[in-house]
Amino acid sequence: MNKEDQIKKWLNDELTPAERKAFEQGDDFPLHRAIIDGAKQFEASKFSQAKTFDDLKEVYDAKASTTKSIDWFKPLLRIASVVVIALAVYFSFFNTNMTHIQTLVSEKTTIELPDQSQVTLNADSEIEYSEKDWTNNRQLELKGEAYFKVAKGKTFDVITSQGTVTVVGTEFNVKQRDKLFEVHCFDGIVKVTSGAITEQLLAGDTFRMLNDNFSQDKTTFSKPQWIQNRSNFKAIPFNAVIAEMERQYNIKIKLENVDDNRLFTGGFMHDNIENALLSVTQPMGLSYKVNASNDVVIHGDKK
């Protein structure tokens, strides 16, 4: 039954009890009732009585046209309801009390975890962990590079996009940059898993995944050199060295006629850009120029 037929039968009191109940529960029923009540107020000397459906329909249409100006209220209520529901969903499901700490380029910071373990973040790095659930979930996610001094106690996991490091009360460094994943153990024992490879490292051991190639080595340092404001490299592609220098000095370096996959062994200090550039260019037989904008161009031999 269409809307007009419903109204007509309602006016003529021809609806069944079930049809009347459904009609009176409709959104438009208050408007229909208001029109009928208003029609009863008309004076007989000025208006003819609306006895037929067609006559009443004209009154209905006229009345409906005057209410269009307030039709915006219903959609506004719907929008408000959607906003309230969205906020409730957000705070219920996404507000998980995660702690997120991030360093900028040329910035380092040290923070203390809930169990008094210490984490020192290198430049352009970030960690995230659940402070509220730390007792039951001793793990954090790392992007970049960080040095850990883990308090004695339960198992501690450091999760990166390229592997996971598991420790119990030890000191170690984790570096995850692009295609390089490197772990140095300085004290205690750590277990490192990357893909199908799992290794246990003792103090002085190094685990490395570079371009999906696995290798192990030894370190004679007692802590990572970047803690002492020096970046150190052993057989690392030159482009990774340049990327680290950009992080530490907040500069842009352009390479011209340089094989950026050539391996570099050495390091640079973080307190003097001129000395740092000399440290990485001279061993490679390269030259450099600092532009007025403080950007750097490193030159190789012209072909």
Q: Which of 30-34, 139-143, 251-255, 283-287 has the lowest mean pLDDT?
A: 30-34
Kindly report, residue by residue over 272-286, the tens digit of the pLDDT: 999 999 999 999 999
Percent of the chain with pLDDT over 70: 73
Q: Bridge-partner residues for 209, per DSSP? A: 181, 214
Average per-residue pLDDT for the chain: 82
Q: What is the pLDDT, as a whole number, of residue 60?
A: 52
CB atoms < 10 A from the CB of 183, how many? 25
Q: Tokens standing for 88?
A: 């409730």
Q: Which amino acid is at 225?
A: Q
Kindly report, residue by residue over 77-92, the tens digit of the pLDDT. Answer: 455 545 544 554 444 4
User: What digits encode the pLDDT tens for the residues 203-248?
Assistant: 999 999 999 999 999 999 999 999 999 999 999 999 999 999 999 9
Q: Give the predicted TM-score (pTM) of the model.
A: 0.67
- Taking residue 40's Cβ as centre, other Cβ atoms within 10 Å add up to 8
Q: Look at residue 263 in the predicted model and tell me its pLDDT.
A: 97
The residues that bridge with 156 in the sheet, in sequence order, are 167
3-state SS, the chain, equals CCHHHHHHHHHCCCCCHHHHHHHHCCCCHHHHHHHHHHHCCCCCCCCCCCCCHHHHHHHHHHHHHHCHHHCCHHHHHHHHHHHHHHHHHHHHHCCCCEEEEECCCCCCEEEECCCCCEEEECCCCEEEEECCCCCCCCEEEEEEEEEEECCCCCCEEEECCCCEEEECCCEEEEEEECCEEEEEEEECEEEEEECCEEEEEECCEEEEEECCEEEEEECCCCCCHHHHCEEEEEEEEHHHHHHHHHHHHCCCEEEECCCCCCEEEEEEECCCHHHHHHHHHHHHCCEEEECCCCCEEEECCCC
Question: Average of pLDDT values for 87-104?
Answer: 68
Residue 157 clears pLDDT 90, i.e. is over it: yes
Q: What are phi and psi of 255, to 5 degrees?
A: -105, 130
| Contacting residues for 119 by C-beta, under 8 A, at least 6 apart | 110, 111, 112, 113, 127, 140, 146, 147, 148, 149
Average pLDDT score over residue span 62-70:
48
Q: Give all domains of the chain, ordered by start, each with its CATH number.
A: 3-92 (no CATH), 98-226 (2.60.120.1440), 229-299 (3.55.50.30)
- Cβ count near 46 (within 10 Å): 6
Q: Cβ(260)–Cβ(243) under 8 Å?
A: no
Q: Is the pLDDT of residue 173 over 50?
A: yes
Least confident of 92-106, 151-165, 225-239, 285-299: 92-106
Mean pLDDT of 259-267: 96
Q: Are 160 and 136 in contact (CB under 8 A)?
A: no
27 or 57: which leads in pLDDT: 27
Beta strand 296-299 with 287-290: parallel, antiparallel or unpaired? antiparallel
